[in-house]
């Protein structure tokens, strides 16, 4: 297993910190989830994603890793041979709305997988653009930032330690594609959060090493938001 490393996004010292407030505009209608498409009963195969607890300060100590919190749609991606389903965190089917991601998932080198992640539109400066994601044109170019593996080839891996799940997930993903592996930093949470705020991202999610995957609200994952973040 490779050690967690500092992602290149954090190493971008030339990032313009004020670009987080800029927006890309598209002359198309914004999308909203209509009540008719929102499901009360969860679809077969869907797993409710982990919901990190919102905290004021990141955790300290060596037992945590920290990931960038991107501003996008939470997504559960399922592959069954060549069949793909992309669910939002509430179980709404978004497969047709995110064609680039839907076309990339079948290339994963396994017969079946269930992956937790985020659909994100990235600007050239590396920041996420939520306004673009809400448009048809923007959603069509969204990437899938994958950060956890829940099932692979019929094996439920949610009880495995976080670092084991992440290592197995990373092994499935080819770099520079429509599916990106969410890099993490193992270090002082306060320093990581300060750097995230400096770069103008939404915040960080800190995850407990050795932790199992828990659906719904949990404290194995802790979310800290950048108070100065401006949604694009």
> What total of structural domains would you count in the chain?
1
Cα separation, 221 vs 140, whole angstroms: 30
What's the whole-model pTM score?
0.83
What's the distance, CA 43 to chain centroid? 21
Domain limits at 178?
A: 47-225
Q: Is residue 162 part of a domain?
A: yes
Q: Is residue 25 part of a domain?
A: no
* pLDDT by 10s per residue, the chain, length 232: 444 443 444 444 323 322 222 222 223 334 444 433 445 688 999 999 999 999 999 999 999 999 999 999 999 999 999 899 999 999 999 999 999 999 999 999 999 999 999 999 999 999 999 999 999 999 999 999 999 999 999 999 999 999 999 999 999 999 878 999 999 999 899 999 999 999 999 999 999 999 999 999 999 999 999 999 988 6
Q: Is residue 27 part of a domain?
A: no
Q: Is residue 6 part of a domain?
A: no
Region at 11 (left for phi over 0; alpha for psi -120 to 50; beta for the rest): alpha
Question: Which sequence positions are flagged as catalytic?
Answer: 69
């Amino acid at each position: 297993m490779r050690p967690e490393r500092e992602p290149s996004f954090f190493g971008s010292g030339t990032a313009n910190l004020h670009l987080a407030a800029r927006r890309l505009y598209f002359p198309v209608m914004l999308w909203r989830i209509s009540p008719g498409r929102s499901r009360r009963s969860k679809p077969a195969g869907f797993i409710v994603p982990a919901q990190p607890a919102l905290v004021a300060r990141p955790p300290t100590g060596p037992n945590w890793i920290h990931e960038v919190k991107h501003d996008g749609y939470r997504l559960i991606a399922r592959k069954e041979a060549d069949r793909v389903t992309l669910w939002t965190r509430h179980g709404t089917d978004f497969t047709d709305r995110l064609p680039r991601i839907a076309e990339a998932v079948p290339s994963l080198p396994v017969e079946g997988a269930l992956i937790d992640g985020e659909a994100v539109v990235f600007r050239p400066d590396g920041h996420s653009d939520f306004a673009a994601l809400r448009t048809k044109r923007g959603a069509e170019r969204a990437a899938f930032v994958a950060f956890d593996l829940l099932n692979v080839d019929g094996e439920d891996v949610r009880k495995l330690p976080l670092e084991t799940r992440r290592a197995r997930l990373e092994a499935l993903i080819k770099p520079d594609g429509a599916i990106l592996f969410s890099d993490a930093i193992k270090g002082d949470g306060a320093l990581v959060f300060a750097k995230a705020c400096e770069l103008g991202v939404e915040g960080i999610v800190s995850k407990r090493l050795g932790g199992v995957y828990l659906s719904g609200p949990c404290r194995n994952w802790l979310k800290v938001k950048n108070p100065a973040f401006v949604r694009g």
